[in-house]
Amino acid sequence: MLRRLIAVLHPSRDADIHLYCRSGGRAGKAKRALEAAGYTSVENAGGIADARKQRGLEKPLL
């Protein structure tokens, strides 16, 4: 079911997909699953702090 949903959301297996979660661990698992499904441009952006830093949002929200 998850693979079908991903195929609907991202039909192009060459699409850039950036994943992140709280610490980066689940994003790593998702990256491996997507690559096993044939996706070629998947990045584990790490934890949420890493993702914020990559986007220039280093300052805390509060």
Residue ranges of alpha helices (H) inside 1-62 are: 2-9, 25-36, 48-54
* Residue 60 placed within a domain: no
State the pLDDT at residue 52.
81
* Residue 36 placed within a domain: yes
**Model pTM score:** 0.72
Q: Which of 15, 27, 29 is nearest to 51 (CA)?
A: 27
* Residue 12 placed within a domain: yes
User: Going residue by residue through the chain (62 aa), what tens digit of pLDDT does each one get?
Assistant: 777 888 888 889 998 998 988 888 899 999 999 999 899 999 998 888 887 888 888 766 55
* Residue 19 placed within a domain: yes
State the pLDDT at residue 62.
59
CATH number of the domain enclosing 49: 3.40.250.10
Q: Are 35 and 60 within 8 A, CB to CB?
A: no
Domain that holds residue 45: 2-54
- Number of domains into which the chain is organized: 1
State the pLDDT at residue 16.
92
